[in-house]
Structure 1
Amino acid sequence: MRQRIELRDITRVFEDGGTQRTVLDKLNLSVAEGELVAVMGPSGSGKSTFLSIAGALLEPTSGDVLLDGKSITGKSQQELSDMRLHKLGFIFQSANLIPYLKVEEQLLFVAKQGGLDKSQARERAKGLLEKLGLAHRRSAYPDKLSGGERQRVAIARALMNDPAVLLADEPTASLDASRGMDVVRMIAGEAKEQGKAAVMVTHDERVLPLCDRVLYLEEGRLVQR
C-alpha cells in the first residue's frame, strides 16, 4: 500500500523568551492511501505545529516530510505553494469560504489557481457538488448556508484539485453531533474511494470510531494508546 504522506524524525524548536522550547521531538508518521488518521492532544501539545509542518506551511527544525515518496525539504516558496495547491487539501475549523463567491464559484476559483481547464473544472465542480449533496446550493452565497453545508463546500473545495492528502483541523468543532459525523464520514469516504490519505486533528471523541487509527501527541511525539 502506497504511503501518501510521511513525517520522518520531525523536530521543531521555538525560541521562547530567550530559551529554546522543543514542541515536536523526532515525531514520525506514515499515512497510506485510503487511511484516515485522527490526531488528539491537549491545547499546547503541538497539534497546530504538527499540522502546519505536514501541510508545508512551516519548516521543521530538522527531519523530513515526504509527499508521495518525494521530499519537500529544500523546496523554494513557489514550489511549496504549488505543492499545497496540487498535493494538499485543507479543511479548517471554520469553512473559510470567500463571502462574495457563490458555492460553485468557490470551487472554480481554486481550480483556476491550479491551472485546470475551464470545462474540466466545471465538470469536476458539478460532480463534487452532486456527490456531497450540494447541487441545489450551487448558486448560494456562504451566508445562506447552514454550518454543515459550509463544511461540505469546504470539503469539495479541498478536493477540487485532486490532492494526495487531506489535512483537517478540527472540522467538526462548530457542528452538532450528527452534522459532525456526516462531515467525517465524507472525509473518510473520499480517502477510501479515491486512494487519498487523510489526517484530522480533533478533540471530538464522537467521530473516532470512523477513523482507521487514533494517535495522541504526547511530549512531542505521536503515540498509539
Structure 2
Amino acid sequence: MRHRLILDNITHTFEDGGMQRTVLDHLNLHVSEGEFVAVMGPSGSGKSTFLSIAGALLKPTSGVVLLDGESLAGKENNALSDMRLHKIGFIFQSANLIPYLKVEEQLMLVAKQGGMKKTKANERIRELLHKLGLEHRRNAYPDKLSGGERQRVAIARALMNDPAVLLADEPTASLDAARGMDVVRMIAREAQERGKSAVMVTHDERVLPLCDRVLYLENGCLIEK
C-alpha cells in the first residue's frame, strides 16, 4: 500500500539560552493512503513542531519528509508553498475563516490560488457543501455560522484542492462533544473514501475510536502503546 506521508528519521533541534535542545529525535512515521492516525502527547512534547514539519511549514534539522512520494528536501520556499497548496489540507483548532468572505467565496479563493478552472471549482464547491451539509449556508458570512458550521467550512476549504494529506491540529478543541465527533468522523471518512493520509494532533480521547492508529509523542519519538 502506498504511503502518502512519510517522515524518515526526523530530528529537530534549537538553541535555548546557549544550550542545544532536541525537540524531535530520529522520529519516523509512515501513513498509508486511507489511514487516519491520531498523535497525542503532553504540552511541550513537540506536537506543534511535528505537525509543522509534516506540513512543510518548518524544515527539520535532519531527516526527510515525503509528500505523495515527493521529497521536500532542498526545495525553495516557492516550491514548498505550491506543495502546501496542492498536496496538504490543514484543519486548525480555530477555523480561521476570512470574515468578509461568504462560505462559497472562502472555497473559491482556495481554488483560484490553486489554478483550478472556474467550472471545475463550482462543481467541487457544490460537491463539498452537499457532503458537509452546508448547502443552505453557502451565502453566509462566518459571523452568522455556528462553531460546528465554521469548522465544517474549514474542512471543506482544506479539501478543496483534493490534497494527498490531511493534517488536523486539535480540530475538536472549540466544539462540544457531539460536534467534535462529527468533525473527526468527517476527516476519517474523507481519508478512507478518497485514499488520503490523515494525521490529527489531539488531546480529545473521545475521538480516538474513530482513528486507525493512536501514537504518542514521547522523548522526541512517536510510539504506539
Asked if these proteins are the same fold (TM beyond 0.5), I'd say yes
> Per-residue CA shift, 1:7-56, capped at 9, x if unaligned?
00000001101101000000000000111000000000000000000000
Partner of 2:196: 196
The answer to whether 1:13 aligns with 2:10 is no
Task: Tell me, yes or no, if structure 1 residue 102 matches structure 2 residue 102.
Answer: yes
Where do 5+ consecutive residues of structure 1 fail to align?
none
Following TM superposition, where does structure 1 have runs of at least 4 consecutive aligned residues deviating by more than 6 angstroms?
none
Q: Secondary structure at the match of 2:43?
A: coil
Match of 2:89 in 1: 89
Cα distance, 1:70 vs structure 2: 1.5
Count of aligned residue pairs for this structure pair: 225
User: Structure 1 residue 222 and structure 2 residue 222: aligned?
Assistant: yes
TM-score between the two structures when normalised by the length of structure 1 = 1.00
- 1:161-180 → structure 2 map (5 Å cutoff): 161-180=161-180
State the alpha-carbon separation in 1 of the partners of residues 70 and 105 from structure 2. 32
Give secondary structure in 2 for the equivalent of 1:56.
Answer: coil
How far apart, CA to CA, are the structure 2 residues paired with 1:34 and 1:69? 15
Using the alignment, how far apart are the partners of 2:124 and 2:107 within structure 1? 9
Structure 1 residue 69 displacement after superposition? 1.5
Within 2, Cα distance between the matches of 1:67 and 1:58?
14
For residue 38 of structure 1, what is the aligned residue in structure 2?
A: 38
**What percentage of aligned pairs have identical amino acids?**
80
Q: What secondary structure does 1:6 align onto?
A: strand
Q: RMSD of aligned C-alpha atoms?
A: 0.4
- Alignment-derived partner of residue 4 in structure 1: 4
Q: Which runs of 5+ in 2 are unaligned?
A: none
Q: What corresponds to 1:113 in structure 2?
A: 113
Please state whether the residue corresponding to 1:188 is helix, strand or coil. helix
